[in-house]
Structure 1
Amino acid sequence: MLHTQGPLLTVDVGERTAETESIDDVLESFIGGRGVATKLAHDRIPFDADPFGAENRLYLATGPMQASTMSFTGRMNATAVSPLTGGLLSSNAGGFMSRNFADTGHAAVEITGSSDELVVLHVTDDGVEFEAVPDLAGATVPETVAYLDGEHGIGADQTAVVGPAGENLVRFASIMTSEERAFGRGGLGAVLGSKNVKALTFEGDSAPDIDIPASQMEIHREAATDDHIMKRQGTVAVMDLANEMNGLPSYYFTEQQFEGVNGINGDAVEAKKYKKGTCSACAFACKLPTRDEERGVETEGPEFEVAMAFGSNSGVDDIVDVMKSNELCDRYGLDAISAGNTVAAYLAAEDEFGNDDLIHETVEKIAKREGVGDDLAEGIARVHDDLDVPDWTVKGMDFAAHEGRVLHGQGLSYAVANRGADHMYAVFYSQEYPLVDEHDAYDPTGFEGKPQRLVEKENQMAVNDSGVVCKFSRDYMTPERYEMLFGAEFDELLAVGNRIVTLERHFNNQRGFDRADDTLPYDLPGFEDALEEYYDIRGWDDGVVPDEQVSA
């Protein structure tokens, strides 16, 4: 089976030490990326670790496909105990850092301990340099990137940076790379912030020699030549469809259609797009560099999730206002989905939907933990009682844009996902709109056949995150192509994905998660039966993994 190569680099930022060790057995069994990081985290992080404690460990890991030149491979993985959910959580980001990371020759980097001063870690194929950077305290992401470039000649594409939100332990702080790409969901930026790590940089000339099958070029050519709407509008292309289906969360989830959708939809974003944007080696080029010269706003995006959170869910119908919110989140290092939904909860409490000045002011207050921002920085699950609004979260994570009240399989996916209400854990929504061929589509209503398919999709997405392969390769990565690229039967690959999901669930079980956490803030007919069917397929007892599944 194709897998990444190289040692684990463990960096103890408290002791200022860096050591390497072989993890070949883990790489052979878990491919790379999320799989390798999950196995290491499960075995090395104490089950009772405080997310902000020195004992929590953050893993950065790439996969074997970063040795290719194939489209959809400019991504990498980060894993730690989440300050937002309290469970083990993986996030991945695009951009250009993954191949710079691979050039250091390390399969994974583990960050542990806690520094007594703010530091930058310069990771190379020769080791690690610890640079004290007290003057960067409170610096924004662009300011930090400018420092690294000016002082060291290190470009944005070689960096993983924490903004003020991470330093201030905002529970949904991001790790930013390539300045505008985010390891977003779950607050992993706050994990680095708790360790007093402002940034990591990656440089080397020791990428492992991994033989990638020639079939990669078939996928690359198709990605380059396909006339796909995402190349023009990114994920926000689906917004009109969601709105027509009564499936666009609006006004802090109290409504499911938005009368101002034309101001924030795919056409509105495309009108502000001024060039193509992509990730490393990818010809699909679905990113959205946008700007509005009149108001001096320039950013990348917004994608659909952000256009929902800061748009319809906040009662905002002007795409430039949403672009400004997106730009602020990138600048301060915030997950834009959670930031937008949390702001929407605050707007609901204050009866201030559509107040763009208040929205932008509140984003800054959250990042700096000033005034009301100090409470909102805790996330919706911890602050909703004080705001007197409903708790629109699962396992502490707020909802993505794809409406589970309409797409019932996606609703089930939100409930059971180890990450919480995250749309990318199984990407089940694609089969219910549908965004796939007719023979792969499901009626959005009901649960017939969906628990089995959900298990398969969760396992497959775990393989993607281990590869590491972008989720938007779905139209190109057939089972036969998985087999050709990874040198294993598709069922064997799905078994790897199953082990990853199982280890995540087992870790979370040890932290107290069980069936009571696999729930939704709304009722769906047949949900409990579908949940039980999902557990039966997984072999779990009320959401709890039997010990023999982990020891096997």
Structure 2
Amino acid sequence: MLHATGTLCSIDVGERSSVTESIDEELEAFVGGRGVATKLAHDRIPFDADPYGPENRFYLSAGPLQQSQMSFTGRMNCTALSPLTDGVASANAGGYLSRNFVDTGHSAVELVGESDELLAVHVTDEGVEFEAVPELEEATVTEVTAAMNDRHGLEAENLATIGPAGENGVRFACVMTYDSRAFGRGGLGAVMGAKNVKCISFQGDSAPDLEMPADAEEIHSTVHREAATSDDMMRRQGTSSSVEFVNDNFSFPTRYFSEQSFEDIDQIHGDAIEEKKYTKASCSVCAFACKLPTKDEERGVETEGPELETVYSLGSNCGVGDIVDLMKSNELCDQYGMDTISAGVTVAAYLAANDEFGNAELVHDLLEKIAFREDEGDQLAEGVARIHDDLGVENFTVKGMEFAAHDGRALHGQGLSYAVANRGGDHMYSTTLGDEYGGEIDPQGTAGKAGLVIENENRNAFRDCGIICQFGVGRAVEGERFELLFDADYDDLLEVGSRVVELERHFRNQRGYDAAEDRLPYDLPDLESSIEEYYELRGWNDDGTVPTDALESEATAD
């Protein structure tokens, strides 16, 4: 099976030291990306670790396809013990970082310990350097990029950066790269902030040797050509191209989940966003070019996006129907380094508690206060699960993670996937929503859907090992192409994904979590029996825990 071949660079930011280690066994068993980082995190982070403590570890990792020139591969993975969900969580981001990362010769980089002063960490193929940057305290993401460019000639494509939100421990702070691309969900930026690292840079010319399968080059060319010639609406409008369809035909959460469609959707849907788009943009070597650089010269707002999830979280769910106001919210989150989904849902909860839906000026004010933990922003920085009682609103989260746009009250299979997902309310974990939107299965009911949820979880976990963009999966890379790219049977690829999911679950189990947390804030038909079926098909215990002998047998097989 094709797998990444680089080393692990373990960096102790407290001791200002680094060591390079072989992780060949982990790469052979877990391919790269999310899989390798999850294995390392599971084995190296103490089960009782504090997410904000020095014993937590922060990983960036690439897969084998980041050494290819195939479209849909300009992505990287980030993993740590999450301050938001309290389990091992992973996120991935596009942009141009991944190929600069693999040029250092590493497949994974690990931050351990805690610095006593704010640092920039510079990783090259010649070693690691530490730069004290106290003057960048609470600097925005683009201010950090400008400083690194002035001092070292580093560009946004070389950097993984946190904004003020990460430094201030906002539980949904994210890590930014290329200024506007986010390792978004799970609060991983707060982990980097707790280690007192403002940015990490990557550059070199030492990508490890990697022998691609015989048929891979032809597939790379075919996928690239299909991406370049596709007439998919997403090439013009990104994920916002689906906003109107979801709002009109299914459910688009509005005013903190109190309604399920938004009357001003035509002001903030894909066409409205495309009107503000002023050029094309892409990720590294990708011809699909689905990104959305937008600006409004009259009001002086320039950003990238908003994508569908931001249209929901900071638009309809906040009752905001002005596209430029929404662009401004998007830009604030990027500059301060916050997940737009969790930030928007948390702000919407505050608006619900104070009868302030539609107040865009207040939304912008709250986003700034959250990033700096000022006034009511200090409370909101904790996220909905920890403050909903104080606000007097319902807890629309699973495992501490705020829901994505694809409402489980309308898409019951997606609701089931939220309930059992190790990341909670994250739509990308299983993407069962795609089967329900596309009509492959009836959106109503959870009965008989556990097997599909599992297959999607396993496929997506492997996708994040590869690493392949979700937009390429199902459009250009599926079935036989998966097998030829990775030189393995599809079932074997799914088995790799299954082991990743199982490690994430086992880590949560060791922190005291079981079936009691696999719950939703609303009722769905047959949900309990479907969750039980999910455990049975996974081979887990009735209480949602992973049998010890299952992990032992996998370790022996590896």
Which TM-score bucket, shorter chain as reference? over 0.9
Amino acid at match of 1:510: Q
Equivalent residues in 2 for 1:168-207, closer than 5 Å: 168-207=168-207
Equivalenced residue count is 547
Equivalent residues in 2 for 1:137-286, closer than 5 Å: 137-212=137-212, 213-214=216-217, 215-286=219-290
1:300 and 2:304 are equivalent in the alignment: yes
* 1:309 corresponding residue in structure 2: 313
* 1:546 corresponding residue in structure 2: 547
Q: Distance in 1 between matches of 2:4 and 2:136?
A: 34
Q: Distance in 1 between matches of 2:290 and 2:111?
A: 32
Q: Distance in 1 between matches of 2:288 and 2:552?
A: 41
Q: Distance in 2 between matches of 1:387 and 1:535?
A: 34
Equivalent residues in 2 for 1:393-472, closer than 5 Å: 393-434=397-438, 441-472=440-471
1:493 and 2:493 are equivalent in the alignment: yes
Q: Distance in 2 between matches of 1:549 and 1:279?
A: 39
Q: In structure 2, which of residues 326, 330, 335 is the aligned counterpart of residue 331 of structure 1? A: 335
* 2:31 corresponding residue in structure 1: 31
CA contact (8 A) 1:176 1:183 kept: yes
Deviation at 1:211, TM superposition (A): 2.7
Q: Comparing 204-213 with 291-300, which one deviates more in the overlay?
A: 204-213
* 2:133 corresponding residue in structure 1: 133
Q: Distance in 2 between matches of 1:223 and 1:529?
A: 41
Q: Distance in 2 between matches of 1:70 and 1:7?
A: 23
CA contact (8 A) 1:245 1:406 kept: no
Amino acid at match of 1:171: R
Query: What does the per-residue CA deviation read over 1:88-143, in whole Å, with 9 as the maximum and x for residues that have no partner?
Result: 10010100000000000001001000000000000001110000001011111010
CA contact (8 A) 2:37 2:60 kept: yes
Deviation at 1:476, TM superposition (A): 1.4
Amino acid at match of 2:402: D
1:123 and 2:127 are equivalent in the alignment: no
Deviation at 1:168, TM superposition (A): 0.3
Amino acid at match of 1:547: T
CA contact (8 A) 2:447 2:527 kept: no
Deviation at 1:551, TM superposition (A): 1.1
SS of residue in 1 equivalent to 2:146 = helix
SS of residue in 2 equivalent to 1:10 = strand
* 1:11 corresponding residue in structure 2: 11
Deviation at 1:539, TM superposition (A): 0.8
Q: Distance in 1 between matches of 2:11 and 2:529?
A: 46
Deviation at 1:448, TM superposition (A): 4.2
* 2:556 corresponding residue in structure 1: none
Deviation at 1:447, TM superposition (A): 2.5
Q: Distance in 1 between matches of 2:248 and 2:281?
A: 28
Q: Distance in 2 between matches of 1:247 and 1:336?
A: 19
Q: Distance in 2 between matches of 1:284 and 1:487?
A: 25
Q: Distance in 2 between matches of 1:121 and 1:280?
A: 23
Amino acid at match of 1:475: R
* 1:511 corresponding residue in structure 2: 511
CA contact (8 A) 2:156 2:178 kept: yes
Equivalent residues in 2 for 1:346-365, closer than 5 Å: 346-365=350-369
Q: Distance in 2 between matches of 1:453 and 1:510?
A: 27
Which stretches of structure 1, 4 residues or more, deviate above 2 A after TM superposition?
none
Amino acid at match of 2:155: G
Q: Distance in 2 between matches of 1:479 and 1:375?
A: 46
SS of residue in 2 equivalent to 1:18 = strand
**Runs of at least 5 residues in structure 2 that lack an aligned partner in the other structure:** 554-558
Deviation at 1:209, TM superposition (A): 2.3
**Runs of at least 5 residues in structure 1 that lack an aligned partner in the other structure:** none
Amino acid at match of 1:210: L
Superposed CA RMSD: 0.8
CA contact (8 A) 2:45 2:57 kept: yes
Deviation at 1:246, TM superposition (A): 4.1
SS of residue in 1 equivalent to 2:224 = helix
SS of residue in 1 equivalent to 2:451 = helix
CA contact (8 A) 2:446 2:524 kept: no
* 1:366 corresponding residue in structure 2: 370
* 1:392 corresponding residue in structure 2: 396
Q: Distance in 1 between matches of 2:414 and 2:153?
A: 45
CA contact (8 A) 2:447 2:526 kept: no
CA contact (8 A) 2:448 2:530 kept: no
Equivalent residues in 2 for 1:336-347, closer than 5 Å: 336-347=340-351
CA contact (8 A) 1:9 1:110 kept: yes
SS of residue in 2 equivalent to 1:359 = helix
Deviation at 1:237, TM superposition (A): 1.2
SS of residue in 2 equivalent to 1:107 = strand
Q: Distance in 1 between matches of 2:476 and 2:536?
A: 31
Amino acid at match of 2:426: D
Q: Distance in 2 between matches of 1:4 and 1:126?
A: 20
